[in-house]
Amino acid sequence: MRRVVAQGTFDLLHPGHVHYLSDAAAMGEELHVIIARSGNVTHKEPPVVPDEQRREMVAALKPVDEAHLGHPEDIFVPIERIDPDIIALGYDQHHDEQRLQAALGERGIDCEIRRASALDRNDPDRLLSTGRIIDRILAERSD
């Protein structure tokens, strides 16, 4: 039984998220998802939707077995608890695979790191990024 972990912000859900989580689920038999705490989303605008509501929506998606709110300070605490065989990074997640592997090793966590595939964001008929959905809302509902 291979346990897989995926992670991300998952602010306004879209088919790119479903693609990522389906891809991650296919890497094993049980998928756990760690939802980034708002206070830890520092590389872009923080999410609009509250932490627990983002967790609730991800937990309801078909490929997901369990969704957990991330730890506020130490990202390795949920990983130690879940004890995954595989961590599936999203295609554009900024984490460096080698540095992450080294940090996991220092904490005595032995698991494989893989990259999930992308769902092409240039499809003109779909909004495949939270940022694009927000841009569309601002453009079309701003008066």
Ligand X SMILES: Cc1cc2nc3c(=O)[nH]c(=O)nc-3n(C[C@H](O)[C@H](O)[C@H](O)COP(=O)(O)O)c2cc1C
In the annotated binding site for ATP, the residues are: 9-10, 14-17, 92
Nearer to ligand X by Cβ, of 73 and 143: the residue is 73
> Which range, of 6-14, 18-26, 115-123, 131-139, touches ligand X by CB under 6 A?
6-14
Nearer to ligand ATP by Cβ, of 76 and 91: the residue is 91
Residue 87 interacting with ligand X (CB under 6 A):
yes
DSSP the chain: --EEEEEE---S--HHHHHHHHHHHTTSSEEEEEEPPGGG--SSPPPSS-HHHHHHHHHTSTT-SEEEEPPSS-THHHHHHH--SEEEE-TT----HHHHHHHHHHTT---EEEEPPPPPTT-TT---SHHHHHHHHHHHS--
Point out which residues bind ligand X (CB under 6 A). Answer: 7-9, 34, 36-37, 40-41, 70-71, 75, 78-79, 87, 90, 93, 95
Point out which residues bind ligand ATP (CB under 6 A). Answer: 8-11, 16-17, 19-20, 44, 90-93, 118-119, 121, 128-131
